[in-house]
Structure 1
């Protein structure tokens, strides 16, 4: 087993998504050269996703078509300088996690889309049945929601000021979901919502929650200096409070009744983010259209 995260980058893959990917691979290897290996696969994936944003100014789950153009990675070739977030999410990161030999589940993370509405609904029904205060609605209310409402929730993953990411197991089963928005209804800035991981996939050893939250925070860091969420103050909310506190969230002291649950109270937690710069507009050389090289 490697002692440093940088050791995982020594042997390069045989195939890439675009010609910029080998250069990002080397840049990440240097970034993690002296960083000790994480304790779990989920923690490692979280670190890789945050570093990806720091290097190219885009989240790994972003839908960017053929890729993201990074000028310093342009060294000649048909897709010179283009980095493929899809390759990193589906191939690069899973390869690095496997090389680390750390405990954790095998899964990939992607954004949701409208056609996912039935899967989103199934996960949210499970959430509402288990802890309606955490979800924000009881089971009968959730069951009564229209197909259009669920389609809207699926589209959060393709919005400009929203994101919604899901962890998908190798067999296609959804393990967890989280969402974020940078302009909340009350105008108070970035908000983390819809935090839910299925019981069988919970825990630091599985790493699903760590990876999902890291991806949402990485995306938000491009647009906001902080993010907040509201958590159940009852004992049922204690796991969520511990989990978010481990990722830098701190209680602000603000509390309010939970909407629709007059006997329940929720409290605000906030995390400060290391603001990442927005990327420069992609400059595509007209004589060299971006195409995959792998």
Structure 2
């Protein structure tokens, strides 16, 4: 039995992220690369890593496969992030993030991951059930591996309901369509447009699309990520637009995960949604200012928010009935 956690994150398709740069991408040429950064990756893991920085007791649940899975677990141990790894057959995936120095463009090469059987999925969810008895939030974040269908989302929702925890879903495709009864859903504009099957070019179209998702799923909150424009907070009672926090762009990898983590951190301390979202936007800006999926520190965060890290840490989570 692990120490009790306020938040349990589920990453069904974890990755080992490597990030490096090349002067220029040239087909067929041997390109000399910079020394790589290697970090833990996958949506729920990134959320957990940011929550860990913010001092929120968090447990990351993930399947681990092969040599890469063992390397991933070693990195999590180095970061002292509490995690529960379920050993499964195969090999944990790699993700490559390459920056072309000549243009400043970033390229992401994302591998599919190892297949997860129904039995191994059940083992992962059993860990959540066992270790999440004191959790205020369960977070399902990231892509689904081969062998796992979108019906895992209602399974996790039933599990979080049984635990008395709020479910946060940050997913795309079929998983987004299955997020019925989630407390909070965080799609990007692109993910929402793909889900609805139409362009969302204007703010009015984006808000209307987020409200359609809210109605279809019965969620309490849709946090629509609008990239460099910030977020739209859509609830049954209204909509609020918050601008992004300005900062230097080094890498966009993990920015959405940091947004989710900051929002959850604020909500666990009883903050209202807008205040929590501002912390999320600050965390996102701090994440964007780091290379690849390397993690910012509490001191780094002070450049993006007037809420100091020691003001975030402490206290027990609030189980609020309304936003």
Tell which has more relative contact order, 1 or 2 (C-alpha 8 A, sep 6+).
1
TM-score (norm 1): 0.28
TM-score (norm 2): 0.27
